Amino acid sequence: MAPKKPLCLPSLLLLPLTLLLPQADSRSFVVDWDHDRFLLDGVPFRYVSGSLHYFRVPRVLWADRLFKMKMSGLNAIQFYVPWNYHEPEPGVYNFNGSRDLIAFLNEASLANLLVILRPGPYICAEWEMGGLPAWLLRKPNIHLRTSDPAFLAAVDSWFKVLLPKIYPWLYHNGGNIISIQVENEYGSYSACDFSYLRHLAGLFRALLGEKILLFTTDGPEGLRCGSLKGLYTTVDFGPAENMTQMFALQRVYEPHGPLVNSEYYTGWLDYWGQNHSTRSVRAVTEGLENMLELGASVNMYMFHGGTNFGYWNGADEKGRFLPITTSYDYDAPISEAGDATPKLLALRNVISQFQEIPLGPLPPPSPKMMLGPLTLYLDGYLLDFLHLLCPQGPIHSISPMTFEAVKQDLGFMLYRTYLSHTVFEPTQFWVPNNGVHDRAYVMVDGVFQGVLERNTKHKLFLTGKIGAKLDVLLENMGRLSFGSNHSDFKGLLESPVLGQTILTQWLMFPLKIDKLVKWWFPLQLPKSLHPQTPSGPTFYSTTFPILDSGGDTFLFLPGWTKGQVWINGFNLGRYWTKRGPQQTLYVPRPLLFPGGALNKITLLELENVPPQPQIQFLDSPILNSTLHKTYIYSLSDDIQSAPEPMELSGH
């Protein structure tokens, strides 16, 4: 068995463990099979936990969020570890800064919170590809989440790095991790590969030992394929479900032991083009109270949602492709900006009826800031910066290649070819077999022609002279994180067709937009207003001072269409004002320079710029806009139709 004393952790991180916690030899967290409960150090124990994702919260705000969770009456937190956040390339690992998992465990220890860890390898979490690295798809025939040797080899390599890091933090070793989930809602995946689950269980045992409690989590339909002997079976359900039926299903697979709801939904996720999801305070609190009266252990998903910064949002597939919004507010008890909500106060009151909660009031809301409107100025068209966006030059291929084939995991790639003949009349341009993954911004000789979109908008009509330059900018809107049993490749998956001509001889430019914004744009000359309103992919920016100490704020982009935003070089995420429901982007105070220093905001607008290119910073969010009408394209004839009710997915 591995040594109990960690060899590689800095002594400063270990100090809180030795000060706050008993010695390892006296520590245990086990199932009391005879009395259907947990025992913590031999004493009956039930956890009331909440989910928080360190990868959705800036590191400087971790302690704040954890303190508020502790003050809410929680005695544990639950969180995922996204593999793709820590291994961006095979064998290249990143545990620095906001990716410092050990520092987050230490912050939880300082807040006196136990940890329920969910390291995957698949996590869902509405996160890009469910946490699996996109580089797995460089082997296009790989079968994800199965006993495919190619997948298992990558999983084994990752866990042989990750699990030894967390071994010293297991509860019986003096740490705060009381249990670890194996995989995630595996029964909702159609593979149903028990050899794969057994392999994972064996790997966890080999690297973590026999003492740590391993468990699985599944919804009611997933228990048959998601449960495995030797792993404690738990269930997940929300306030709308029949609690008695849900726990009865758990008892089919675990006749004895504690009742556990590993994901009790306090809210829900949002899709672009759908309404903002909410769950009523009354329903959520009544459901929690009923479970606690039964003696169940409960984890509330989410307790604080956070933000899908950058390109990290995932997507669902429910009849069509549904990317998830930048905000992961989730209608959670702690808002996206870290403030206590009425839901939190009501839940705290329920928890106080079953266990002691810390004395003292919850912290007040963080200071908020308003600013603007501010006018943005044109930096230039995206095509003007191609030499900086792709300094190594393009890749040539007869047929277009996917993002994965050229090792472009996230963001954007430009496809370019030249017309082989003159097209006099408007002629249909399309990509067979729904081959646009996920949105294509089409230009002829630099002039924006329109958008093609996965599942919804399949054709444009183009004209052009022989030799005209046809550019197709492809946006990866986030890989599927739930609801699919196939690999979600990005880019042009088939050769586009113009009229009767299959277009060939493509140049592909993998774009490093974040590097351009961070390193090159600060060197650009001052900008001036463009004489006409541009369309198509364009960069806009401006600078602005904050004269006082500033505060959290919410970026509002009225009239803008769709794009990406950076604040002081930090990729804030996607906006999609025209589609909604999210209208503002959360800007944490630590991203801004106070005291009169200049801050810079950069926009990549992908479609249409408003006549007055202005933005504002508001002191409250707009997450459920009713100011515009949402349209869903017909799948058959590209005619816009009324919104459709959407079936919700799991996690």
Question: Taking each helix axis from N to C terminus, what angle separates 281-293 and 243-253, rounded to the nearest 10 degrees?
Answer: 40
Find residue 450's DSSP bridge partners: 442
Q: Check: CB of residue 301 under 8 Å from CB of residue 328.
A: no
What amino acid is encoded at 236 in this protein? D
The encoded tokens of residue 106 equal 């230490």
The encoded tokens of residue 113 equal 């919170």
Give the pairing type, strands 553-556 and 395-397: unpaired
**Within 10 Å of residue 486's Cβ, how many Cβ atoms?**
10
Q: Check: CB of residue 177 under 8 Å from CB of residue 170.
A: yes
Which contacts qualify for 359-367: CB closer than 8 Å, 24 or more apart? 360/71, 362/68, 362/71, 362/72, 363/64, 363/67, 363/68, 363/71, 365/337, 365/339, 365/340, 366/337, 366/338, 366/339, 366/551, 366/552, 366/589, 367/549, 367/550, 367/551, 367/552, 367/589
Tell me which of 87, 107, 128, 185 is the catalytic residue. 185
Q: Which helix (H) or strand (E) holds 602?
A: strand 598-605
Tell me which of 128, 183, 263, 605 is the catalytic residue. 263
Specify the 3-state DSSP secondary structure of 362: coil
**Within 10 Å of residue 195's Cβ, how many Cβ atoms?**
10
Distance CA 80, CA 149 (A): 24
What amino acid is encoded at 126 in this protein? E
**Within 10 Å of residue 201's Cβ, how many Cβ atoms?**
18
The phi, psi pair for 135, rounded to 5°, reads: -65, -15
The encoded tokens of residue 84 equal 């793709």
Q: Is 185 a catalytic residue?
A: yes
Q: Which helix (H) or strand (E) holds 424?
A: strand 423-430
Question: How far apart, in Å, are the Cα atoms of 33 and each of 115, 291, 340, 601?
Answer: 22, 19, 37, 57
Q: Is 221 a catalytic residue?
A: no
Task: Give catalytic residues, as residue numbers.
Answer: 185, 263
